[in-house]
Amino acid sequence: MTTPSTLRQTIRRFRLCVPGAIALGAVLAPPVHAQSMMPMRQAGHYYGGVSVGQARMQAQDADVGTLLLPGVGLSGVEHDHKDTAYKLFGGYQMNRQLALEAGYFNLGTSRFTANTLPVGSLSGQTKVQGLNLDLVATLPLTERLSAQARVGAQHARSRSSFTGTGAASGGVASISDSGTHLKLGLGMQYELSPSMWVRGEVERYRVNHFAGQRRNINVASLSLVFPFGRAAPMRMAAATPLSEPRPMATTPAAPMPPPAEVVAAPPVPPPVPMAVVPVARQKFSLSAETLFGFDAAAIRPEGRVALDTLGRQIAQGSYEAISVEGHTDRLGSPAYNQALSMRRADSVKTYLVDQVKLDGQRITAVAHGESQPSRAASDCPDTLGRAKLIVCLQADRRVDLEVTGSR
- Per-residue pLDDT tens digits for 31-41: 434 343 333 33
At 28 the pLDDT is: 40
Q: Checking DSSP bridges between strand 120-140 and strand 98-117, what pairing results, if any?
A: antiparallel
For residues 51-66, give the mean pLDDT: 86
Q: Is residue 362 a contact partner of residue 342, using CB atoms and an 8 Å limit?
A: no
Beta strands in 167-210 (DSSP E): 174-193, 196-208
Alpha helices in 271-366, H assignment, sequence order:
288-291, 301-315, 334-354
Of 249 and 353, more confident? 353
Q: Which residues is 51 bridged to in the sheet?
A: 87, 223
78 band by pLDDT with thresholds 50, 70 and 90 = confident
Distances, alpha carbon 4 to alpha carbons 10, 15, 215, 331, in Å: 10, 17, 26, 54
| Mean pLDDT of the 310-318 span | 85
Least confident of 199-203, 234-238, 357-361: 234-238
- Per residue in 348-397, pLDDT (tens digit) is 999 999 999 999 999 999 999 999 998 888 889 888 888 888 888 888 89
Nearest Cα neighbor of 160 from 200, 209, 195 is 209
Cα→Cα distances 270→267, 275, 277, 320, Å = 9, 15, 21, 33
Distance CA 145, CA 151 (A): 20
Domains and CATH numbers, the chain: 30-228 (2.40.160.20), 279-406 (3.30.1330.60)
272: which DSSP letter? P
Per the CB < 8 A criterion, the answer to whether 99 and 93 are in contact is yes
